[in-house]
């Protein structure tokens, strides 16, 4: 029986690290299995038109949200789409792209969880939430290097977008199964960290996470820069996994091997071959990034192998008649 794709959502504000995270997942899973979709391609207006209308790309009114909903539904059921394409290098709308979904679909963008209709079509939902100082530094660096902006233009745009970020982007954090927070070590600025970042994974019990608690039964792992604690987020119980940027290869490999035990029928790449990111023209490696990518790979392969989703031959349903999926309550914490 054919099965429908497994759909991962990765949502966060502009320059929150979505593309870097997605790139490593594609390496781990294999490009032959993965279709990547950017939901930021659904803009109504190009860069010049947005400036004329004084509207930012983060505002729902600047995007074809209804078309995004319809095409997410089609991808969810394994059906092809004719996806719009926005050229971020020059801010223009270009020829649409025909997309046939593969076994795993990764949808990244700023507005991916903005409506209930969209949210029901994901199997796993991730939200990236770096501190604003760090995100601003990433955005200035990226937009100047790849999108032709000057630093003062990026700073001006960040100020213009702040209201829409607050109103439309950050509230989507509420709907994620996993929240990923990269941040500099205490007392270190975003620029001084130079990519040596810690990561905090907030694991909500809306999906089942691998049992790695036994790693923390002795003090060795905790002292080595990897910690697992119980906490609360949005007034609800969660598990919190923290990995320091200076974690040793020995302890990073220990956690990686533990997660790998839960991967069905898959031997991942060596940790040096993923977890990479770019600083200008230099490629660097981060164990916290690599372990985050491996953790998400576990969730995708678990959904794909252990919970196959039948692909029903049926027309696209009217969105108003679809009932939201009920998330499975699992994990070590109870609500």
- 230 phi, psi to nearest 5 deg: -95, 145
The Cα 229–Cα 227 span in angstroms is 7
Most distant CA pair in the chain: distance in Å? 60
The Cα 129–Cα 292 span in angstroms is 14
Map out the domains of the chain with their CATH numbers: 6-321 (3.40.50.300)
Taking residues 213-240, what's their average pLDDT?
81
| Count of alpha carbons within 13 angstroms of residue 132, beta-carbon side | 9
The Cα 305–Cα 103 span in angstroms is 11
Where do the DSSP E strands lie in 225-327? 226-233, 236-243, 276-279, 282-285
Confidence of residue 229 (pLDDT cuts 50, 70, 90): very high
For 89-101, give the DSSP string.
Answer: TTTEEEEEEEE--
> Which residue's structure tokens are 């209308």?
53
Query: What single-letter DSSP state applies at residue 153?
Result: H
Burial 128-143 (b: 16+ CB within 10 A, else e): bbbeeebbbbbbbbbb
Does 1 score more than 60 pLDDT?
A: no
Structural tokens at position 174:
């509420």
Structural tokens at position 123:
């199997």
Burial 287-312 (b: 16+ CB within 10 A, else e): bbbbbbbbbbbbbbbbbbeeeebeee
User: Model confidence over 274-324: pLDDT tens digits?
Assistant: 888 877 777 888 999 999 999 999 999 888 876 666 654 443 443 333 333
User: Model confidence over 169-205: pLDDT tens digits?
Assistant: 999 999 999 999 999 988 887 777 766 899 999 999 9
């Amino acid at each position: 029986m054919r099965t429908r794709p497994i759909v991962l959502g990765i949502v966060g504000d502009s320059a929150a690290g979505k593309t870097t995270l997605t790139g490593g997942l594609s390496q781990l899973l294999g490009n032959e299995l993965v279709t990547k979709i950017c939901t930021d391609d659904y803009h109504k207006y190009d860069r010049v038109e947005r400036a004329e209308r004084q509207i930012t790309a983060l505002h729902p009114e600047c995007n074809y949200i209804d078309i995004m909903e319809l095409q997410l539904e089609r991808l969810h059921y394994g059906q092809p789409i004719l996806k719009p394409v926005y050229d971020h290098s020059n801010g223009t709308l270009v020829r649409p792209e025909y997309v046939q979904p593969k076994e795993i679909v990764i949808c990244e963008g700023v507005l991916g969880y903005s409506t209930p209709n969209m949210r029901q079509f994901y199997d796993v939902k991730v939200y990236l939430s770096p501190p604003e100082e760090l995100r601003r530094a990433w955005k200035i660096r990226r937009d100047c290097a790849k999108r032709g902006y000057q630093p003062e233009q990026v700073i001006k745009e960040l100020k213009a977008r702040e209201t829409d970020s607050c109103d439309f982007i950050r509230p989507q954090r509420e709907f994620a199964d996993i929240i990923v927070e990269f941040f500099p070590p205490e007392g270190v600025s975003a620029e001084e960290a130079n990519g040596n970042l810690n990561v905090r994974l907030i694991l909500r019990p809306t999906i089942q996470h691998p049992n790695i608690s036994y790693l923390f039964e002795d003090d060795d792992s905790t002292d080595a820069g990897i910690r697992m604690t119980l906490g609360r987020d949005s007034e609800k119980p969660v598990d919190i996994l923290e990995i320091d940027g200076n974690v040793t290869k020995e302890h990073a490999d220990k956690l990686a091997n533990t997660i790998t035990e839960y991967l069905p029928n898959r031997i991942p790449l060596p940790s040096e071959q993923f977890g990479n990111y770019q600083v200008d023209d230099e490629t660097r490696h981060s164990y916290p990034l690599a372990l985050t990518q491996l953790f998400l790979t576990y969730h995708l392969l678990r959904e794909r192998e252990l919970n196959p989703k039948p692909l029903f031959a049926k027309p696209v349903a009217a969105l108003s008649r679809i009932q939201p999926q009920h998330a499975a309550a699992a994990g070590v914490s109870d609500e």
